[in-house]
A and B are shown apart, each in its own frame.
Chain A
Amino acid sequence: MSSQSLSSSAMRPVRRVSDRLMGLIMSGLLFVVAVVSLARINDHVAEAPKPLAPIQIQRAVSFVDEGGGRIRIEDASNGRSLRILSAGEGSFIRGAVRSLVRTRQLASVEVAASFELILYADGRFQLYDPLTGEALELAAFGPSNSGEFRALLTGTPSVQHSG
């Protein structure tokens, strides 16, 4: 606050709201506006319309929590390991699966069931949950992120961890 405003308010004894209260009201207003605008954003990424193009490759994968932060990703059709995520590794895969698992928890369905990785002929790439119908459009997260899942779809099972 400048000294000019102080001296002018001293000369004219006009009743006015104090600067402190004004700041409080302003911040409160800004807070409410920001909260409401944030609340109105919807997460449409997970609700993309069903692709019409035919399926090119599809693989059922399960994510097995081995404890200690280790997650084994296996081909659900034959139980062979595709990749092992050690603690702290594969944050995008973990995050994507976690968000689908949350929907399962809310719907009270089997949390450990497998998911479908589906690549469509038009280039669309989804991690699809057959139990809840929720799907993540993996291409929306950029090539390096979706590439992690692409490797699970096209890669051959890792030999050293099989069995």
Chain B
Amino acid sequence: MNDFGLSIVVAMTGWWFFTGLILWLVHWPRSRHLGVFAVTSLLSLVTFASVPSVGAWTGGMASVTAFCQALILWGWLEMAYLMGFMTGPEGRPCELNAGLLIRAKSGLKACLYNELGTVGIGVSLITLLWGAANPTAVWAFCALWFMRWSAKLNLVLGVRNYNRSWLPEHLAYVDSYIPRRRMNPLFPVSVLVGTTLAWWLGVLAAGAPDLGSRVSLTLVCTLVTLGTLEHVFLMLPLNEAALWRWASPGPNKKVAISLEK
């Protein structure tokens, strides 16, 4: 039982920590971005080079290491996008009330190179780890990949809420691709597929005979669950501010807002 619980904690804190680390680094002054990007690129290169050897290694430690590899490679792509080193051929806001096709096209143009990078790394991981004893890295990466593309499609179709404050200033135009809708046709499908996938991975994890596959299936299952939850949050009728509104009656709220500015 211990290994399931610990795997869930590792996946949750790993996800939380890597997301937090990237957002924190992205909000550093832009003059330091190049240095950070150079160091993390070197780290990703080393990580990528060690993918085959970790893929041939089995056991609990091997699964956790491979999971971290996927998080590092994914985090590097995410950071390359948010810092503006690897985005797309053209990043421009589209006009208000633009149609779906125009929004999708502008959105793709704004992140095309990053998506190609994702496909490139994803396909090389699949090739490198095909039939490997420990395929955790490719599973985790593909889970993140699938959840991200699903989330992006949902965003361009329209969602109720998303974390606009996560976008750094130089990417603020991305907001113009994302209309506010109460629902979109893809959303129920995404949540259903995500839930089914998480359930299936959970069943596989519960029946896995050895520690390594138990840990890696639980890690990937947790990742898919978290991604599905994030989808749900896109449509929940509340935002971050609403989470704390109960704690601050009228006058105090004004104080808090004026201090934050």
Distance of B230 from chain A, by nearest CB (Å): 16
Most A Cβ at <10 Å: residue of B13, B64, B212, B248: B13
Which residues of chain B are within 8 angstroms of A1 by Cβ–Cβ distance? 244
Which residues of chain B are within 8 angstroms of A161 by Cβ–Cβ distance? none
Question: A91: CB under 8 A from chain B?
Answer: yes
**Main SS at interface, chain B:** helix
In the complex the two chains form, what is the Cα distance from A19 to B7 in whole Å? 27
Question: B149: CB under 8 A from chain A?
Answer: no
Q: Are A39 and B207 in contact (CB under 8 A)?
A: no
Which residues of chain B are within 8 angstroms of A35 by Cβ–Cβ distance? 10, 14, 64, 68
The size bracket of the interface on B is 35 or more
A residues 1-60 touching B (CB-CB < 8 Å)? 1-3, 6-7, 10, 20-21, 23-24, 27-28, 30-31, 34-35, 37-39, 41-43, 45-46
Q: In the complex, which of the residues A39, A96, A102 contacts B133, with contact meaning CB atoms closer than 8 Å?
A: A102
In the complex the two chains form, what is the Cα distance from A46 to B60 in whole Å? 13
**Chain A, residue nearest B21 (CB):** A24
Q: Are B252 and A46 in contact (CB under 8 A)?
A: no
Interface residues on chain A, number (Cβ under 8 Å): 36
In the complex the two chains form, what is the Cα distance from A1 to B259 in whole Å? 13
Distance of A18 from chain B, by nearest CB (Å): 9
Q: Are B14 and A39 in contact (CB under 8 A)?
A: no
Given contacts A27-B13, A31-B10, A95-B209, whether A38 and B3 have CB atoms under 8 Å apart is: yes
Q: In the complex, which of the residues B20, B248, B255, B256 contacts A24, with contact meaning CB atoms closer than 8 Å?
A: B20
Question: B208: CB under 8 A from chain A?
Answer: yes
Q: Are A38 and B10 in contact (CB under 8 A)?
A: yes
Given contacts A10-B259, A31-B10, A34-B6, whether A99 and B210 have CB atoms under 8 Å apart is: yes
**Main SS at interface, chain A:** helix
In the complex the two chains form, what is the Cα distance from A99 to B213 in whole Å? 9
Given contacts A35-B10, A43-B210, A99-B210, whether A6 and B256 have CB atoms under 8 Å apart is: yes
Q: Are A20 and B9 in contact (CB under 8 A)?
A: no
Question: A106: CB under 8 A from chain B?
Answer: yes
Distance of B212 from chain A, by nearest CB (Å): 7
In the complex the two chains form, what is the Cα distance from A11 to B133 in whole Å? 59
Which residues of chain B are within 8 angstroms of A99 by Cβ–Cβ distance? 209-210, 213
In the complex the two chains form, what is the Cα distance from A58 to B89 in whole Å? 66
Q: Are B248 and A39 in contact (CB under 8 A)?
A: no
A residues 81-109 touching B (CB-CB < 8 Å)? 91-92, 95-96, 98-99, 102, 105-106
10 contacts between A and B (CB under 8 A): A1-B244, A2-B244, A31-B14, A34-B9, A39-B64, A41-B211, A92-B207, A99-B210, A102-B58, A102-B133
**10 more A-B residue pairs beyond the given contacts A28-B17, A99-B213, with a C-beta to C-beta distance below 8 A:** A3-B248, A24-B20, A24-B24, A30-B9, A35-B14, A41-B60, A43-B210, A95-B209, A96-B209, A106-B133
